[in-house]
Amino acid sequence: MNLALHAPILAIAVPLLGGFALPLWAKFGRPLRDLWLLLVSAATASLVGLVAFQVYTGGIQVYTLGAAWPTDTLAPGGFPIRIVLAVDALGALVGLIATLAALVGFAYAARYLAEEEGKTLALTLGTLLWAGMLGMAFTGDLFNLFVFFEVTSIAACGLIGYRTWTSRGPEAAFKTMVLYTVGGLFVLLAIALLYGEYGALNLAHLARLLRGSTVDRVTLALLLGGLLMKVGAVPVHMWAPDAYGEAPAQGVILLVANTQVSLYALFRILFTLYGGLADPGIGWLVVAMGTLTLLVASLMAVVQMDLGRLIAFGAVSQIGYMLLGVGVGLTVLASRPAYGLLALQGGIFHMLNDALAIGLLFLAVGAVEKAAGGRNLGALGGLGHDLKWTAAFFFLGALALAGIPPLNGFASKLMIYQGSFLLSPILSALAILASILLLAVFVRAFQGAFLGPRMLQPEPVPSSMLLAMGALALGVLVLGLFPDLVVRHVVAPAADALWTGREVYLRAVFGR
Amino acid sequence: MIGNVPFVVCMVLVLLGLAALLFRRNLIKVVIGLKIIENGVNLYLVATGYVQGGVVPIWTYAPPDAAMVLPTPQALTLTSIVIGLATTALMLAFAVVIHRHKGSLDGRKVVELSG
């Protein structure tokens, strides 16, 4: 079997089947389960790495399911009715982000989760969520996008609410599930409308058929609304702080990766499916949503007293920066000035930076909760005396997220500021204002939790948790110190996939 | 014959479900609202594939040169029903857990979190 050719589908199938097999192995013994998880994770990570390497060196990789040969995308007679996976540079980057989150989460979970508190369950759901995210990132077919959307929804809500002995976890999960399901049904209705009009589900084929009729616009509104619910942009963000606040820390980092993957799906639809319409109004809508998100979420973060919820609102505000950057790119897509590409690169670079920095913060909060037994800022204090490494990681993540040089958040936010300034100075002023607010919030949180006299005797943080946080912290530092290198080799191809890559994507799927 | 009536009915179902989500506070009724939206969407999907006087889309059983209904929307609907079963089961399970903790299913009374 040609592994390189089949890598995209294997990268989805291995964690999906491996995840379901995990509880079976747990019946035979915990060491066997851990060994199996290690094997599945290593195999999936190498497969995703292989796909990403092929995409970055050789261009878009297309895989057809149910054909005699994986490259036969068209059925006999030239009809694009087969189910395809199409991975371009942006899809590969998002797949890498999901893989990074999963690996760090599993390493952290090894000592963070207690065996008697459903560890097997949490690991299974994490693996399934990972599989769903990879599916969303790699699919080239609208209906499969919906299916993987629902796979991630179910796995994510399971992760939020599986601790049924608490009352807050299931409540957050119920709330999240309502919004995820409504979002999913909006997406399904949009797919049904598109199918009724054009009789196609293949993303590339639909992109060629779309004419910009009224039905197309209604469909776009439904897709936009459904995916924004999943992303957690401001008018429909109600689930995000609850979910991030109540899920266990190793699940939160996967949830954060899941919002990035949903953002990717949104960008894929806006640029590839609807890129031919080139209507600046849609771009302005995305810009407005982004600005609203980053402002409202950072204002809401100011008043939080729970450390977890405070960081959660910080996470929601970062979604606003990504929407702003990419929205600026979308607004000027038709005329293609240089600053549009800059803002787009900034938005995509920020997806990577946010996964690292906010992941680091949530893991640090989880460590604080485990060590000190609580997260209320009123009761915490002086933890920095004993938890030196955790305090340092929290500080690093907070500064990176607030956009302080020389950390990674600064590099991407600067690109977003520059790009949006050239579109409208008010946008970048608001974005900078939100960053300053976030800095104030994080400094208050750091001061409240880690500084001051020693108030309680925390337990030491296990070394595997510190190791997982250290890996993310290293990423934050390296991306901050060498942003040019990362932008040129990793982010620029991904941004080009949206900026000019529409025709390339369509040709790759059609083979002509 | 009946024109666009099926599509209109589906949209009415979707709107009814949305209204239930917005104005009902009982958690079970919220789940029922979601189910109504889902059924509206599923009916819409099936309706798009309907062909007047069409037969079941099984190639070997169909009489020669008979019109068939479209098989793809039926496959999509089946998938969507299975997914809907999973989401509904999960949500009802959460509702049971919430009821066990709070002794109530009233959305206004059980809330501890406020996103």
What does the pLDDT average to over A487-511? 90
What does the pLDDT average to over A359-366? 94
In-domain check, residue A187: no
Q: Which residues of B touch A164 (CB under 8 A)?
A: 97
Sequence-separated (6 or more) residues with CB below 8 Å from residue A195: A201, B45, B48, B72, B73, B76
Q: CA A140 → CA A64, A135, A201, A483, distances in Å?
A: 10, 10, 9, 30
Tokens of A430: 């608001």
What does the pLDDT average to over A463-469? 92
Question: Helix, strand, or coil here: A62?
Answer: strand
Residue-wise pLDDT for A66-76, tens only, equals 888 888 888 88
Residue-wise pLDDT for A89-121, tens only, equals 999 999 999 999 999 999 999 889 888 888 999
Q: CA A329 → CA A16, A93, A336, A422, B38, distances in Å?
A: 35, 18, 8, 11, 35
What does the pLDDT average to over A263-282? 89
Number of domains in chain A: 1
Residue B111 predicted with pLDDT over 90: no
* CB–CB contact A242 B115 (8 Å): yes
Tokens of A116: 């008697």
Cα A187 to Cα A205: distance, rounded to the nearest angstrom = 18
Are A109 and A126 in contact by the 8 Å Cβ rule? The answer is yes
In-domain check, residue A235: no
Sequence-separated (6 or more) residues with CB below 8 Å from residue A275: A207, A333, A502
The whole domain housing A355 covers 278-481
The pLDDT of residue B58: 81
What does the pLDDT average to over A437-464? 89
Beta bridge partner(s), residue A64: A84
Residue A345 predicted with pLDDT over 90: yes
Cα A205 to Cα A102: distance, rounded to the nearest angstrom = 33
Give the best residue of B37, B39, B41 to mutate against chain A (max A CB count within 10 A). Answer: B41
Residue A204 predicted with pLDDT over 80: yes
* CB–CB contact A246 B41 (8 Å): no
What does the pLDDT average to over A54-78? 86
The pLDDT of residue A157: 95
Domains of chain B: 5-102 (1.10.287.3510)
Give the best residue of B31, B87, B105 to mutate against chain A (max A CB count within 10 A). Answer: B87
Highest mean pLDDT among A276-285, A366-375, A411-420: A411-420
Q: Which residues of A touch B45 (CB under 8 A)?
A: 188, 192, 195
Average pLDDT taken over every residue of chain A? 92
In-domain check, residue A320: yes
DSSP B106: B
Helices (H), A232-279: 239-246, 249-267
Residue A512 predicted with pLDDT over 70: no
Are A55 and A89 in contact by the 8 Å Cβ rule? The answer is yes
In-domain check, residue A390: yes
- Can you say whether the dihedral through the CA atoms of A315, A316, A321, A325 is positive or negative? positive
**Taking the C-alpha atoms of A365, A136, A95 and A502 in order, what is their torsion angle to the nearest 10 degrees?**
-130
The pLDDT of residue B114: 66
Sequence-separated (6 or more) residues with CB below 8 Å from residue A103: A41, A45
Cα A30 to Cα A486: distance, rounded to the nearest angstrom = 39
Phi and psi, residue A483, nearest 5°: -65, -35
Residue B115 predicted with pLDDT over 60: no
* Residue A183 in contact with partner chain B when CB distance is under 8 A: no
Nearest CA in chain A to B29: A178
Count of beta carbons in the 10 Å neighbourhood of residue A356: 31
Name the residue among B48, B80, B102 with its Cβ closest to that of A188.
Answer: B80
Beta bridge partner(s), residue A376: A306
Nearest to A448 by CA among A349, A367, A379, A501: A379
Residue A1's pLDDT band (cuts 50, 70, 90): low
Residue A166 predicted with pLDDT over 60: yes
What does the pLDDT average to over A226-230? 94
In-domain check, residue A308: yes
* CB–CB contact A246 B112 (8 Å): no
What does the pLDDT average to over A178-193? 95
DSSP A84: E
Q: Is the peptide bond before A425 cis (omega within 30 degrees of 0)?
A: no
In-domain check, residue A385: yes
Lowest mean pLDDT segment, chosen from A118-122, A324-328, B104-108: B104-108
Rounded to the nearest 5 percent, the helix, strand and coil shares of chain A are 80, 5, 20
Residue A310 predicted with pLDDT over 80: yes
Residues 212-241 of A with CB under 8 A from B: 237-241
* CB–CB contact A185 B113 (8 Å): no
Residue-wise pLDDT for A27-44, tens only, equals 998 999 999 999 999 999
Q: What is the DSSP string of A162-211?
A: --TTSSHHHHHHHHHHHHHHHHHHHHHHHHHHHHHHH---BHHHHHHH--
Rounded to the nearest 5 percent, the helix, strand and coil shares of chain B are 65, 5, 35
Cα A142 to Cα A136: distance, rounded to the nearest angstrom = 10
In-domain check, residue A38: no
ipTM for the whole complex:
0.94
The pLDDT of residue A77: 78
In-domain check, residue A395: yes
